[in-house]
Amino acid sequence: MKNKRRQQVIGLLLIEFFFLQGSVCAQEEKIPEPLELVKQVLNQRKKITIGYIQLEQHYIKSSHSKNYERLIVDYSFWFKPDKIKVKHCNNVKDQKNDNPPCATNVWSSQARTMVPMDDKYAVKYLMEELPFSSMHEPPPWMIGIAPMDLGFFKNYSFDVTLLLPDDAEQIEITPDKIGGYKTWKLSYQRRRSDYYQETQTWIAPDLDYLVLKSESLEKYSFMTQKWRYENKPKKYGCHWFPEEIITICEKEGKVTDEEKIKIIRAEFNQNVSDDEFELKSLGLPMGREVIQDSTLKYWDGEKLVGTFVGPGLPSQEINHNKMRRWVFIMTINALACAYIAARIYLKNEKNKR
């Protein structure tokens, strides 16, 4: 009798155990709402407020220009909640260059400053074409959330539309696995009169909601293309972040663009000195052209000035010297033209006789 009673108790305990296990599993597998899932991705990144990121951008294949395929672009980002400094240098593959051409942007709530590559045409282009006063840099820690061109980083907004556009429909979330990591697969479609898109994005909740993979099919009236985007995860301190990002584009079944981003160094939520955002930190030569809030200025070794004053020369004397040179050149040109005209006139008169 006692044995029978014991067996009944054990049976009830086993039933209760498996019931509880099933409840826990069901709780764990509760599918999140799409908007809440995307917000989790952004919120995890917002926890990174201060830091430094160094990376290399490799153009393996480019439909824009064959010259891109020879480039490795080195990026460095320093950032605080109200300040961002971005430096990018163009290096040529297989050619060591200890001093490659570089450009630097420093953005803060007070001013937007651009030190273009040392190229007069670049300065002219930037002055004429780019409205710097209305531009700002997005936070660099949004790298790896969605496919984006670092060269046009400023065009992206750090909001839910990075992963879930406003006009998305047929939205679905399903559990899946990528590389052994548990993920939520976010799927949606977009439709317009001449455009159709279907996208799947795999998000790993156990890795700070890191995006591990994204695939997108885009159909236009004139073309069909596919995007594939993969992140290799790594933990930097307390934060998961991509160590390597691969983006591949296929058009009509052929790979037309392929890019790889390698994170060389990342330090998150560690102090960055305010001096890092000062122009003095760049080691600029005196007289270097700098654009600040759409105005061309010059570095005098300590600060930006409207007119560069060389050592020992007041700005008025520099301008007068320039004017004297132009007057001299124009005078020589006028005399030369007069001489040639006189020779032609005399020759014609001689022929008439």
Q: What is the domain partition of the chain in residue ranges?
A: 34-282
> Rounded CA gap, 110 and 279, in Å?
14
Return the structure tokens found at 161.
Answer: 């539309």
Give kind and range of the element (H or E) at residue 194: none
Chain mean pLDDT for the chain = 77
DSSP 8-state code for residue 30: P
Banded pLDDT at 99 (limits 50, 70, 90): low
Pick 329 or 31 by higher pLDDT. Answer: 31
Q: Express the helix, strand and coil content of the chain in percent, nearest 5 each.
A: 35, 40, 25
Q: In whole angstroms, give the CA distance from residue 141 to residue 45.
A: 7
Beta strands 181-192 and 304-305, pairing class: unpaired
Q: What is the mean pLDDT of residues 335-351?
A: 57
Q: How many residues comprise the chain?
A: 353
Interval 103-108 mean pLDDT = 76
Give me the pLDDT at residue 340, please: 60
Residue with more model confidence, 274 or 341: 274
* Type and span of the H or E element at 346: helix 315-352
State what percent of residues in the chain have pLDDT above 90.
35
Backbone angles phi, psi at 187, to 5 degrees: -120, 145
pLDDT at 89 > cutoff 80: yes
| Average of per-residue pLDDT across 277-294 | 81
pLDDT at 301: 83
Q: Of all helices (H) and strands (E), which one includes residue 76?
A: strand 71-80
**Euclidean distance between CA atoms 138 and 153, whole angstroms:** 7
**Residue 25: per-residue pLDDT:** 43
Supply the pLDDT for residue 128: 45
pLDDT recorded at residue 315: 43
Q: Which of 92, 115, 152 is nearest to 281 (CA)?
A: 115
What's the one-letter identity of residue 17?
F
Residue tagged 């995890």 (tokens): 44
DSSP 242-273: EEEEEEEEEETTEEEEEEEEEEEEEEES----
- Return the pLDDT at 67: 73
27 has pLDDT over 50? no
pLDDT at 309: 57
Q: Residue 189: beta bridge partners?
A: 169, 198
pTM score, whole prediction: 0.73
Q: Report the alpha-carbon distance of residue 241 to residue 269 in Å, rounded.
A: 13
Give the tens place of pLDDT for each residue, 135-188.
Answer: 445 667 788 888 766 655 566 677 888 899 999 999 999 999 998 999 999 999
pLDDT at 209 over 60: yes
Neighbour-count burial of 181, counting CB atoms closer than 10 A to its CB (0-12 exposed, 13-18 middle, 19+ buried): middle
Q: What is the mean pLDDT of residues 61-84?
A: 83
Work out the percent of the chain whose per-residue pLDDT is above 70: 67
For residue range 243-272, list pLDDT tens digits in order. Answer: 999 999 999 889 999 999 999 999 999 989
Distances (CA, A) of 167 to 21, 171, 189: 40, 10, 9
* pLDDT exceeds cutoff 50 at 189: yes
Phi and psi, residue 264, nearest 5°: -85, -40
For the four alpha carbons of 41, 43, 48 and 49, in that order, the dihedral sign comes to positive
At 312, the pLDDT band (50, 70, 90 cuts) reads: very low
Contact at 8 Å (CB) between 140 and 242? no
Evaluate the CA torsion angle 47, 52, 56, 57 in order and state its sign. Answer: positive
H helices then E strands: how many in the chain? 4, 15
pLDDT on residue 121: 44
Q: Specify which of 193-197, 297-301, 330-334 reaches the highest per-range mean pLDDT.
A: 193-197
Q: What is the pLDDT of residue 1?
A: 52
* Residues pairing with 236 in the sheet: 239
The structure tokens listed for 235 are 């933990």
Confidence of residue 59 (pLDDT cuts 50, 70, 90): confident
Query: Which of 236, 232, 257, 255 is CA-nearest to residue 245?
Result: 232
Quick one: pLDDT at residue 70? 77
Q: What is the pLDDT of residues 221-241, one digit of tens each?
A: 888 999 999 999 999 999 999
Residue 191, token pair as written in the block: 């439709």
Q: What pLDDT is attached to residue 171?
A: 96
Q: Average the pLDDT over 309-328 and give the result.
A: 45
